[in-house]
């Protein structure tokens, strides 16, 4: 437990930090949390918690249940709706695609699923004469290509043939849609692990299809997806295991071709 002097110090900023810590102590699926449990989770004295819970309840961020436990109030939902209304995928994805195109030297794109097709929602091409040229709005069969495998793997209900893609969190393609093209793709996941889309780097097979270029592109994509997923409310820590695996893989067997 923190001592009372440290809890009282720091002024308004410290109070905000403690209020955010209290809100962060609630977990999904809980109907209510007792004062004693909140004290255990936050490390704050009950007297401090009661003072802050009262302020949070007044603002609609916390509600006190009939049995004396506490739960999240309605105000975060209102703010989330405002956020969603003002939020556009392009604002998050496009800067990442621009950086991916610069860092990889290849075409970067963002695909979404539309039934049995994958659709290019956004794309950025590199400043190279020889490159993979795709247009926003292009539709391709979902069963071919790295982005298609990712979209299939992370669409619910999950299907067993794509277990490896979900474990690694990337898929690659060597000439599946176009014999001269190779690509690597990773998912962007939002709140609750929901699929948002697939970030992809693609280029001429003779240039990007070797082990090291594919590994380098995969690393770039995974790091970009960490930022994108966090922006969409996803758990970015889920990519930590993948960033370790990518250094161990030789990319000789495309994940998703194990079907």
The segments of the chain whose pLDDT lies below 70 read 1-11, 83-87, 128-133, 252-259
How far CA 121 is from CA of 23, 28, 31, 100, 134, in Å, comes to: 35, 31, 38, 16, 11
One domain for residues 103 and 154: yes
One domain for residues 105 and 225: yes
Residue with tokens 């392009």: 90
150 close to 187: Cβ distance less than 8 angstroms = yes
Q: Is residue 74, in this structure, part of any structural domain at all?
A: yes
Distance separating alpha carbons of residues 70 and 198, to the nearest angstrom: 38
pLDDT digits (tens, 9 = 90+) for 154-203: 998 888 889 999 999 999 999 887 888 899 999 999 988 999 999 999 99
**CATH number of the domain to which 181 belongs:** 3.30.450.40
The pLDDT, as a whole number, for residue 91 is: 87
pTM of the predicted protein model: 0.68
The pLDDT, as a whole number, for residue 85 is: 63
Please state the domain count of the chain: 2
List the domain range (segments joined by +) for residue 21.
Answer: 4-83
**CATH number of the domain to which 48 belongs:** 1.10.10.10
Q: Is residue 130, in this structure, part of any structural domain at all?
A: yes
One domain for residues 151 and 242: yes
The pLDDT, as a whole number, for residue 257 is: 44
Which strands, in side-by-side order, build the sheet including 181-189? 139-141, 117-124, 107-114, 195-204, 181-189, 171-174
One domain for residues 63 and 98: no
Q: Among 83, 116, 132, which residue terminates a domain? A: 83
Distance separating alpha carbons of residues 145 and 163, to the nearest angstrom: 17
One domain for residues 177 and 231: yes
Using CA atoms in the order 186, 191, 197, 200, what is the torsion angle rounded to 10 degrees? Answer: -30
225 close to 187: Cβ distance less than 8 angstroms = yes
């Amino acid at each position: 437990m923190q001592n009372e002097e440290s809890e009282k110090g720091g002024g308004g900023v410290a109070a905000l930090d403690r209020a955010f810590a209290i809100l962060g102590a609630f977990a999904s699926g809980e109907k209510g949390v007792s004062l004693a449990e909140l004290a255990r989770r936050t490390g704050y004295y009950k007297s401090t918690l009661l003072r802050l819970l009262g302020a949070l309840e007044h603002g609609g961020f916390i509600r006190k249940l009939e049995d004396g436990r506490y739960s999240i109030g309605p105000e975060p939902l209102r703010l989330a709706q405002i956020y969603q209304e003002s939020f556009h995928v392009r604002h998050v994805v496009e800067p990442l695609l621009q950086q991916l195109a610069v860092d990889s030297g290849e075409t970067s794109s963002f695909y979404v699923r539309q039934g049995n097709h994958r659709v290019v929602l956004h794309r950025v091409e590199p400043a190279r004469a020889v490159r993979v040229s795709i247009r926003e709005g292009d539709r391709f069969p979902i069963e071919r290509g790295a982005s298609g495998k990712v979209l299939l793997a992370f669409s619910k209900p999950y299907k067993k043939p794509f277990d490896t893609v979900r474990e690694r969190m990337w898929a690659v393609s060597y000439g599946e849609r176009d014999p001269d093209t190779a690509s690597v793709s990773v998912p962007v996941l939002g709140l609750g692990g929901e699929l948002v889309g697939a970030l992809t780097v693609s280029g001429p097979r003779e240039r990007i299809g070797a082990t090291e270029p594919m590994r380098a592109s995969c690393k770039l994509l995974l790091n970009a997806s960490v930022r994108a997923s966090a922006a969409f409310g996803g758990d970015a820590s889920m990519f930590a295991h993948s960033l370790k695996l990518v250094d161990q893989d030789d990319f000789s067997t495309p994940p998703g071709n194990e079907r």
